[in-house]
Structure 1
Amino acid sequence: MCQELILSWQNTKNKQLLPIGRFSKHGDAYSFIYTKGAKQAREQGFIALASSMQDFNTKYFYNDIFPILKNRILNKSRPDRKEFLKWLNIDSNNSDFEELAKTGGVKATDNLFLFPVPIKKNNQYILEFFSQGISHLPKNSQKRIEELEKGEKLFFCADLENSQDENAHMLRTNDPVEIVGYCPKYLAKDFKKLFDLSKKSFSIRVKQINKDAPDRLRLLCEITCDWHKDFSPFSEDEFALN
C-alpha cells in the first residue's frame, strides 16, 4: 500500500522534470513538505502549489486528502470506476494514494506528476508500474503487447542513443524480440541502480494486460528485486527535504 508520493513539476520549455515535494499519509491525516528540487524549480518558473503553501520550509497538514490530489482521483460515483480500478489492479474503492501512484495523477491543465516512494517488503523492492510510450510504438509492437501473457518476462534495456533522456530504458520481449514501451522516466534511474547492485534477483514481468484501456494504462508491469544494502530510492539531493 502506497503511503508516500513524490510530486514533480515539469518545465514546459526544456521538459526537465523536478521533484518539488512529498505527500505522506499517516492513518487519516495527510502532510506535505517541499523538497530541495522545489527551489530549483522556482528558478525555472515554478511559484507554489497554492497561495496558502508559499513557504518552502514549512510542513503542511490536512485532515483530508489535499485538494490538489483529490481532483486527480476518478470520481467515485462514476459508473466506469470499477473497471478503472481493475485496470490499475486495485481491489479497494478507498485506495486514493495507490490510484495516484499508478496513474501519476496526470491532468491536461497543468504540468504536475506524481509517483510512489517504494516500501521495502521482506528486504525486497516490489513495484507495479505502467509501460510508457505505447502510443508511439509501431504496429508490430502494439500487436505483441496484445499477445503478452501474465508473468511473461520483460527485458530491461538502455536506450543509449536517446538524445532527450540519458537515463531512458526500454522494455522488450524475448521471442520474438519487440519493444513494448519504456520504463517511467522517474523510475528508470533507480531501476538501473537495482540492476547493477542485484542483477541476479532483478526481474520485470507482465502483471496485467488491459486491452480495452487507454494506451497509458495498457501494460501493467511489476519489478521485483532484492533491496541491496547500498540502495536507497531517490537518493539524489533534489529529492531531499528542505
Structure 2
Amino acid sequence: MCQELILSWQDTKTDQWFPIGRFSKHNDAYTFIYTKGAKQAKKHGFIELASMSDFNAEYRYSDIFPLLKNRILNKSRPDRQEFLKWLNIDSSNTDFEELAKTGGVKATDNLCLFPMPIKKNNQYNLEFFTQGIGHLTKSSQKRIEALEVGEKLFFCADLENSQDKNASMFRTKDPVEIAGYCPKYFAKDFKKLFNLSKESFSIKVKQVNKNAPEQLRLLCEITCDWHQDFSPFAEDKFTSIN
C-alpha cells in the first residue's frame, strides 16, 4: 500500500525533472512538504504550487489534496473498473495507489508523481509500467502482447542514451525484443539494487493490458532483497528543505 508520493516538475526547455515535494498519507491525514529539489527547480522557472507558497512550511489536509484529486479518474465513470484492472488495483481505497502507477500526468501541466518504496520483510517490491512502448518496433510490440504473466524480463543499460547515464530498458529472452524502457525516476535505484542484490534481483511480467493506452500496456513487478547499503531516492534533492 503506497503511503508516500514524490512530486516532480519538468523544465520543458531542457526536459530535466526535479523532485519538488512529497505527499504522505497517515490514516486519514494528508501532508505535503517541499524538497530541496524545489529550490533547484525554481532556478529553472518553477513557481510555487497554488495555496502552498512557503517552501519551509508543512501543509496538512484532512482530505486528499486538490492537486492530487484532480489527477484521479472520476469515480463515477463507467470505465473506472476496467481502468483499475489495468492498474492491478482491487481495493476501494485506491487514491495513492492509482497515482503511484499512473503518475497523475495531465496534459495541462508538467507535473508527475511516483511512489516512495516501502521496505517490507527486508524486501524491495514494486509494480510499475514500462515506458516508451509506442516508440518500439512493431516486432517488439507484438512480442509484448504475447508476454505471459510471470515471464522474466532482463534489465539492461541503454548504452545509446548519451543524455542519461542511468537510462535502462527491459528485454525479453526468446525471441529477444525490447519490452520498454525503465521509468526515469526509478532507473538509478534499480541500477543500485541490481549491483547490490544480483542474486535476488528479479523483474517479471505482472500483466499485459492489450486494450489499454500504451503507457498502461505492460505492468511489471520488481522484487529483490533490500540490501543494507541501499536507500531509495538517497540524493539530497529528495530530502525535506527543513
TM-score, normalization by structure 2: 0.99
Q: How does 1:9-28 map to 2 (within 5 A)?
A: 9-28=9-28
| Structure 1 segments unaligned to the other structure (5+ residues) | none
Matched residue of 2:81: which SS? helix
Identity of matched residues, %: 80
Q: Aligned residue for 1:191?
A: 190
Q: 1:48 aligns to what?
A: 48
The answer to whether 1:95 aligns with 2:94 is yes
Distance in 2 between the 1:215 and 1:160 partners?
24
Confirm or deny that 1:121 pairs with 2:120: yes
Instruction: Quote the offset at 1:163 in angstroms.
Output: 2.0
Q: Distance in 1 between matches of 2:45 and 2:162?
A: 24
Mapped pair 1:217 → 2:208? no
C-alpha distance in 2 between matches for 1:6 and 1:194? 20
* 1-structure distance, mates of 2:163, 2:81: 37
Deviation at 1:161, TM superposition (A): 1.8
- Name the structure 2 match of 1:144: 143
Helix, strand or coil at the partner of 2:189: helix
Following the alignment from structure 2 to structure 1, what is the Cα–Cα distance between the partners of residues 92 and 77?
12
Aligned-residue CA RMSD in angstroms? 0.6
Contact 1:76 1:93 in 2 (8 A): no
CA distance in 1, matches of 2:163, 2:133: 17
Whether the aligned pair in 2 keeps the contact of 1:201 and 1:224 (CA below 8 Å) is: yes
Q: Tell me by how many angstroms 1:40 deviates.
A: 0.2
Report the Cα distance in structure 2 between the residues aligned to 1:174 and 1:58, rounded to whole angstroms.
49
1:134-213 paired onto structure 2 within 5 Å: 134-213=133-212
Q: Does 1:237 align with 2:239?
A: no
Partner of 2:4: 4
> 1:66 aligns to what?
65
1:38 maps to what in 2?
Answer: 38
Distance in structure 1 (CA, Å) of the matches to 2:13 and 2:93: 36
Q: Is this contact kept in 2: 1:6–1:23, CA < 8 A?
A: yes
Deviations 1:48-103 (A, max 9, x none): 111x2111010000000000000000000000000000000000232100000000
Structure-1-length-normalised TM-score: 0.99
Task: Count the aligned residue pairs.
Answer: 241
